[in-house]
Amino acid sequence: MDDMSFVDAPELKTGNAFADYMNMTRFSMMPEYWTLIDYLEKKGVIDGKEFMAFLGRSLKTQVITAEHVAYREEAEQKLKDLGV
């Protein structure tokens, strides 16, 4: 992770282009975070690949949750519009 390869890491892609863009923008502004991850990996405290997979799952969960809430609110509004 020395070279900020996380920006293009397929493990961090959520399938939502906007979320991916926002995550990569946010992550690119946090060099201390990635330096800490790199340090912990070099010390043998964490496995970099395992961490990236874990982070990717977390990002995907956030997107799925947000989409679920948005669709539910939309469906509820449609029901209200129909008088149900």
Q: Token pair of 29, please? A: 């502004």
CA-closest candidate to residue 53, choices 7, 3, 9: 9
**Per-residue pLDDT tens over the stretch 10-69:** 888 998 999 999 988 888 888 898 899 999 999 999 999 999 999 999 999 999 988 888
Is 37 within 8 Å of 48 (Cβ atoms)? yes
Q: Is the pTM of this model over 0.85?
A: no
**Per-residue pLDDT tens over the stretch 58-76:** 999 999 988 888 788 887 8
CB neighbours of residue 73 within 10 Å: 10
